[in-house]
Amino acid sequence: MTADLFDPALYDGVRRPLLDAEGLPPACYTDPAFHRAELERVFRRGWHMVGRLDQVAAPGDYLTATVGEVGLIVVRGRDGVVRAFANACRHRGTPLVEGRGSCAAFRCPYHSWTYALDGSLKGAAGMEQTRDFDMEGLGLLPLRLADWGGFLFAAVDEAVPPLATWLGGLPARLAAYRFDDMVATRVVDYTVACNWKLWVENFMEGYHIATVHRSTINKQPVVNIPEDPGGGAFVSIYERHQGTRALLVGDAGFPPIEGLDAESAAGSRFILIYPATMLAIAIDTAWSLVCDPLGPEATRVTVTSCFPRQRLARPDFGALAANYYKRLDITLPEDNAICALQQTGLRSPLARAGRFSHKERIVHEFDNWILDRVVGPASRPAAAE
Considering the rule CB under 6 A, would residue 198 count as an interface residue with ligand FES? Answer: no
309, 182 Cβ separation under 8 angstroms = yes
Is the Cβ of residue 108 or residue 170 nearer to ligand FES in the bound state? 108
Considering the rule CB under 6 A, would residue 166 count as an interface residue with ligand FES? Answer: no
Is the Cβ of residue 82 or residue 281 nearer to Fe ion in the bound state? 281
DSSP bridge pairs for 238 = 225, 269
Q: Binding ligand FES by CB under 6 A: which of 36, 78, 92, 219?
A: 92
Residue range at the interface with ligand FES (CB under 6 A); choices 6-14, 85-93, 146-154, 235-243: 85-93
Question: Distance between CA 348 and CA 327 in Å, rounded?
Answer: 33
Q: Binding ligand FES by CB under 6 A: which of 12, 39, 71, 91?
A: 91
Considering the rule CB under 6 A, would residue 133 count as an interface residue with ligand FES? Answer: no
- Output the smallest distance, CB 109 to ligand FES, in A: 7
Residue range at the interface with ligand FES (CB under 6 A); choices 36-44, 68-76, 109-117, 195-203: 109-117
Show the 3-state SS of the chain.
Answer: CCCCCCCHHHHHHHHCCHHHCECCCHHHHCCHHHHHHHHHHCHHHCCEEEEEHHHHCCCCEEEEEEECCEEEEEEECCCCCEEEEECCCCCCCCCCCCCEEECCCEECCCCCCEECCCCCEEECCCCCCCCCCCHHHHCCCEEEEEEECCEEEEECCCCCCCHHHHHCCHHHHCHHHCHHHEEEEEEEEEEECCCHHHHHHHHCCCCCHHHHCCCCHHHCCCEEEECCCCCCCEEEEEEECCCCCCCCCCCCCCCCCCCCCHHHHCEEEEEEECCCEEEEECCCCEEEEEEEEEECCEEEEEEEEEEEHHHHHCCCHHHHHHHHHHHHHHHHHHHHHHHHHHHHHHCCCCCCCCECCHHHHHHHHHHHHHHHHHCCCCCCCCCCC
Task: Look at residue 108 and give the partner it binds from Fe ion, ligand FES, none, a contact being a CB closer than 5 to 8 Å depending on partner kind.
Answer: ligand FES
Task: Look at residue 113 and give the partner it binds from Fe ion, ligand FES, none, a contact being a CB closer than 5 to 8 Å depending on partner kind.
Answer: ligand FES
Q: Binding ligand FES by CB under 6 A: which of 45, 100, 111, 241?
A: 111
- Output the smallest distance, CB 158 to Fe ion, in A: 36
Considering the rule CB under 6 A, would residue 73 count as an interface residue with ligand FES? Answer: no
Considering the rule CB under 6 A, would residue 270 count as an interface residue with ligand FES? Answer: no
- Output the smallest distance, CB 91 to Fe ion, in A: 44
Considering the rule CB under 6 A, would residue 89 count as an interface residue with ligand FES? Answer: yes
Question: Distance between CA 243 and CA 369 in Å, rounded?
Answer: 33
- Output the smallest distance, CB 206 to Fe ion, in A: 8
Residues 4-63 that bind ligand FES (CB under 6 A): none
Considering the rule CB under 6 A, would residue 151 count as an interface residue with ligand FES? Answer: no
- Output the smallest distance, CB 122 to ligand FES, in A: 12
Q: Binding ligand FES by CB under 6 A: which of 113, 177, 179, 270?
A: 113
Considering the rule CB under 5 A, would residue 297 count as an interface residue with Fe ion? Answer: no
DSSP bridge pairs for 270 = 237, 280
Task: Look at residue 100 and give the partner it binds from ligand FES, Fe ion, none, a contact being a CB closer than 5 to 8 Å depending on partner kind.
Answer: none
Considering the rule CB under 6 A, would residue 94 count as an interface residue with ligand FES? Answer: yes
Is the Cβ of residue 34 or residue 115 nearer to ligand FES in the bound state? 115
334, 216 Cβ separation under 8 angstroms = yes
Is the Cβ of residue 219 or residue 314 nearer to Fe ion in the bound state? 219
User: Of 305, 374, 320, 338, nearest to 54 (Cα)?
Assistant: 305
Q: Binding Fe ion by CB under 5 A: which of 292, 335, 360, 367?
A: 335
- Largest Cα–Cα separation, the chain: 71
Is the Cβ of residue 335 or residue 365 nearer to Fe ion in the bound state? 335
193, 298 Cβ separation under 8 angstroms = yes
Task: Look at residue 335 and give the partner it binds from Fe ion, ligand FES, none, a contact being a CB closer than 5 to 8 Å depending on partner kind.
Answer: Fe ion
Q: Which residues bind to Fe ion, rule: CB under 5 A?
A: 335
Q: Which residues bind to ligand FES, rule: CB under 6 A?
A: 89, 91-92, 94, 108, 110-111, 113
